Structure 1
């Protein structure tokens, strides 16, 4: 198959979250399966400073938006054997950030990503690359399925192209005032309850859900959750309407990048069959962070965004308990100012067994995964989650809230002693979280039991192989329906 993956961020060119990892790892796995897969993303200012090799192509595209004409150019890089195209338009994308600054989102985001989506379709024609499937990710690429269904439905170039739209996080929907229609070059006739209108605003994600041939999200549990009022973010009715075309496929992990047996970023390499190196990683991490060096004291790691979604208020409420317990806690992350300030206040207290590291310190993250005995992820909601997959891979036994992809990947040891690979809790409450921590600490005190849990965690298949096979089957289904005239 010919497959085009459209995303607003792709590792290592530009990244703010897990979307970038998915947009990089899935195409590489599809390529291994023999498909002609290509990726396209914007060329941000930060791509240039990241030092990635991208050469200029001769292709250009011109788009009129809001009465102004914008000309863009195509650059090309590679991701292993996968071609990566980058859309260059300096006025719109020549910035050192992707979507906005700490003060807020860029006000011209509707125009920026409308240009991106419309130029993608122009560039496909100029490259004469006719994809069987265009796989779009999140609201930034949502206009593509909308355009293909409602603007260029009779264009023979795209007549046989199916669209797949993946929701990575339903909380971010691309909501804008009606005036954004002009900025995006979208006809006011599409601003209806049956497509883009959402309580008087334009909702790009809603439009894509209703326009794409197939809709996916990033775990089976999240796929069920988003059809409920609690997790549907106001779109549960729309998603229920597309339930026959809605699929949950659990993300995988790039196991070439995340492999404790070969990872040069950690102090000592190790595997599930040779765990000695993991103990060395723990001692080295303790030394680096100024913690008491002890193999016996359980070390709990936490790496991620310091935001409400990640359950940081539970952690903050429990910090006095962590500080009083015979354990060590290491936190690494950056995020919302109010939570960062809260953690900074705790950090200044100088708790001997708690290391709080604020800011994004990339070299430290793999060391925490490798050196931790346990990994804490008490998310309020979690569409898929990559951190717990990395933790499993590195033998840092996950302690998670039972939601979304966390529920699909972590089997509670208390519920299933033979197959369990972590600990989980249901209620979003400090006591429920602490109970899971307490149960993990109790298991840790039995070295024989703990070694088995660690090995089960590390032996779980978290690769993209299974997920890519599921996407391959969905792509074929979408193509058959498209060519049979049975679009969604």
Structure 2
């Protein structure tokens, strides 16, 4: 079977979020499972620089201008690049300018991505043609629509990484992207009078996947579906909506081999994790003390991520002697709030505004607890990294967080399945109350880490990549009304 992934970013070539991490690992896992997999990406500058061997496969004159299709390899995965400098050769973010305004021609930039994904199934590369085209998030949402317009020359899968981002454009752009106007209706890609790339993927795909079983259920409900609940509920009833957990790429996230850590460790060498904590405290300007719990945040600073709750709970955590190390950027109000806390509590709160991939590894290796109190979280990778590094996740029970973290309740502790701290979406159970009993200590965190690894809960992509269920989906044989779970290996 030949599968083409179509997406806008891929770690480590270009990353703005968790989508890149998935695309950086899933194709390689599928190749190891015997699937012939390639990836199609826009020719953004960072991606072009990372694939210097890319050569021309085809040239076309398209609705978005003249383009070349390039092909090369990265880490053993075949990569197609759309070479269109007039669309993609821009500094900074692939989606917006330096003032954070979306590029005005994004409709063409990402319609082209979908069009090329479809044309690959029609012989754009005369030497390789996919049986399945797998589109990711709204940027690639038009792939299934173009395939439908061409008579479905290949099967399509559309993965929702975050339903909140929908790719909405004015209806007039239907004239610009070479799709029939007959597609612009409620039984198509129209949504609230606009052209929705996301709805195009949801409506025309042969199968839809979400990045966790719980999120697949949540997006059929109004509070999580952003108006798409009717369509998604119908796809669920048709057996065309599944949830499959993301996983961890162990080549990148593994405390035993992570060269970005001050000191590598396993459950048998936990004293080395303590050394990482000491180095992290020094780097963040915190008081060096191996007896106090060190909480961490590595996240975009937004209300969706629940970080206003962390600010609310912070005084109580600090009163109990805890420390906080934060790495992130986003909402100016939240940024100022955490910077003010750092100024008010020197030695207890350390804040770095921005994102640095290498430093995120150091935080994961040195902290005792990683905070992920998201209001919604399709899957979440941060808590998986925490489990891998013995840094216990504190999470809200939603989406993939609910699927991957078991609360340290007395029952779960007795059964040996506890893996972190979980609070409900209520005013009576909050992050602060989860920890108010002073039960979180470095020693207990390390003990939980030992139990996790003894029970086989060290996560890796090989363990969370569910080859059987992906093969079912790619072959169109998934049982009706099936919501996939994933066994932690």
Same fold (TM over 0.5): yes
Q: Could you list the runs of 4 or more consecutive aligned residues of structure 1 that deviate by over 4 angstroms after TM superposition? A: 428-431, 478-481
For 1:80 and 1:480, the matched residues in 2 are separated by: 34
RMSD of aligned Cα (Å):
2.1
Residue 152 to residue 409, structure 1, CA distance change in 2 (3 Å): same
More deviation, 53-62/381-390:
53-62
Equivalent pair of 2:423/2:429 in contact (CA under 8 Å) = no
Deviations 1:285-316 (A, max 9, x none): 11222211111111111111111211111112
Determine helix, strand or coil for the equivalent of 2:40: strand
For 1:384 and 1:6, the matched residues in 2 are separated by: 20
Asked whether 1:310 is paired with 2:305, we answer: yes
Residue 246 of structure 1, CA deviation: 0.2
Equivalent pair of 2:42/2:83 in contact (CA under 8 Å) = yes
Residue 365 to residue 229, structure 1, CA distance change in 2 (3 Å): same
| Residues 71-470 of structure 1 mapped to structure 2, 5 A cutoff | 71-96=66-91, 97-101=93-97, 102-123=99-120, 125-128=123-126, 129-149=128-148, 151-153=149-151, 159=153, 161-243=154-236, 244-414=239-409, 415-417=411-413, 418-427=416-425, 429=427, 432-438=430-436, 441-444=438-441, 447=443, 449-458=444-453, 459-465=456-462, 466-469=464-467, 470=469
Residue 480 to residue 74, structure 1, CA distance change in 2 (3 Å): farther
Residue 232 of structure 1, CA deviation: 1.1
What is the TM-score when the length of structure 2 is the normalising length? 0.91
Determine helix, strand or coil for the equivalent of 1:308: coil
User: What is the aligned partner in structure 1 of residue 473 from structure 2?
Assistant: 474
Equivalent pair of 1:41/1:85 in contact (CA under 8 Å) = yes
Residue 273 of structure 1, CA deviation: 2.7
Equivalent pair of 1:138/1:166 in contact (CA under 8 Å) = yes
- Structure 1, unmatched stretches of 5+, are 482-488
For 1:270 and 1:21, the matched residues in 2 are separated by: 23
For 1:172 and 1:344, the matched residues in 2 are separated by: 29
Deviations 1:33-76 (A, max 9, x none): 1211101111112335xx413334223343443xxx51112333
Asked whether 1:53 is paired with 2:44, we answer: no
For 2:163 and 2:6, the matched residues in 1 are separated by: 18
Determine helix, strand or coil for the equivalent of 1:416: helix
Determine helix, strand or coil for the equivalent of 2:430: helix
For 1:442 and 1:56, the matched residues in 2 are separated by: 54
Equivalent pair of 1:270/1:277 in contact (CA under 8 Å) = yes
For 1:434 and 1:193, the matched residues in 2 are separated by: 45
Determine helix, strand or coil for the equivalent of 2:357: coil
Equivalent pair of 2:159/2:208 in contact (CA under 8 Å) = yes
Equivalent pair of 1:300/1:376 in contact (CA under 8 Å) = yes
Equivalent pair of 2:43/2:82 in contact (CA under 8 Å) = yes
For 2:475 and 2:120, the matched residues in 1 are separated by: 24
Equivalent pair of 1:60/1:123 in contact (CA under 8 Å) = no
Deviations 1:68-92 (A, max 9, x none): x511123334232211111110111
Determine helix, strand or coil for the equivalent of 2:111: helix
Residue 443 of structure 1, CA deviation: 4.5
For 1:46 and 1:83, the matched residues in 2 are separated by: 17
Residue 104 of structure 1, CA deviation: 2.1
For 1:353 and 1:453, the matched residues in 2 are separated by: 24
For 1:454 and 1:437, the matched residues in 2 are separated by: 18
Deviations 1:341-386 (A, max 9, x none): 3323333335330111111122211111000111111001000000
Residue 462 of structure 1, CA deviation: 2.5
Residue 315 to residue 429, structure 1, CA distance change in 2 (3 Å): farther
What is the TM-score when the length of structure 1 is the normalising length? 0.91
For 1:75 and 1:474, the matched residues in 2 are separated by: 28
Residue 479 of structure 1, CA deviation: 10
Deviations 1:417-463 (A, max 9, x none): 12101010012559611112335x41427x4x544311234441532
For 2:41 and 2:255, the matched residues in 1 are separated by: 30
